[in-house]
């Protein structure tokens, strides 16, 4: 079983749309996500408060909650950021009020070559 949080660095182009599909399982059994909230938070510095995040996504409607499936989506306006390196965390708050980090790492925003 993979340890949580998963350390994963991401690279996106400015104005790129992006979707991260997630499947929640515990001991190989899917977890019902009904009542859960998923958060995707991107900050300039790891020490920045969440209120200062450059991207904040909150997901409460899941693609298939009963079967543990959800997705976080970024639009082109979400990725309308200066090129450079940021920090992100993807967390969940279960219906039992247990907040845990699922994934974290660096998010690099690169120049969109299509717009050059």
Question: Residue 115 has what pLDDT?
Answer: 58
Per domain, the residue ranges of the chain are 6-115
Question: Residue 96 has what pLDDT?
Answer: 73
The pLDDT tens digits for 16-70 are 999 999 999 988 999 999 999 999 999 999 999 999 999 999 999 999 999 999 9
Question: Residue 39 has what pLDDT?
Answer: 95
Q: How far apart, in whole angstroms, are the C-alpha atoms of residue 53 and residue 47?
A: 10
Question: Residue 68 has what pLDDT?
Answer: 95
Q: How far apart, in whole angstroms, are the C-alpha atoms of residue 14 and residue 19?
A: 15
pLDDT level of residue 1 (50, 70, 90 thresholds): very low
CATH 2.60.40.10 fits 6-115, yes or no: yes
pTM above 0.85, yes or no: yes
Bridge partners (DSSP) listed for residue 107:
10, 86
Dihedral of the CA atoms 112, 54, 89, 93 (nearest 10)? Answer: -130
Q: How far apart, in whole angstroms, are the C-alpha atoms of residue 16 and residue 46?
A: 23
Give yes or no for a contact between 37 and 27, defined as CB atoms under 8 angstroms apart: no
Question: Residue 89 has what pLDDT?
Answer: 95
Question: Residue 51 has what pLDDT?
Answer: 94
Question: Does residue 3 have a pLDDT over 50?
Answer: yes
The pLDDT tens digits for 70-94 are 999 999 999 999 999 999 999 999 8
Give yes or no for a contact between 95 and 31, defined as CB atoms under 8 angstroms apart: no
């Amino acid at each position: 079983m993979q340890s949580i949080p998963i350390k994963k660095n991401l690279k996106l182009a400015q104005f790129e749309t992006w979707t991260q599909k997630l499947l929640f399982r515990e001991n190989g059994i899917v977890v019902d996500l009904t009542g859960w909230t998923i958060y995707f938070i991107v900050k300039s510095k790891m020490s920045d408060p969440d209120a200062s995040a450059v991207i904040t996504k909150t997901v409460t409607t899941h693609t298939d909650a009963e079967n543990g499936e959800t997705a976080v989506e970024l639009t082109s306006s979400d990725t309308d950021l200066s090129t450079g390196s940021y920090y992100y965390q993807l967390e969940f708050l279960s219906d039992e009020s247990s907040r845990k980090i699922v994934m974290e790492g660096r998010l690099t925003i690169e120049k969109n070559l299509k717009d050059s």
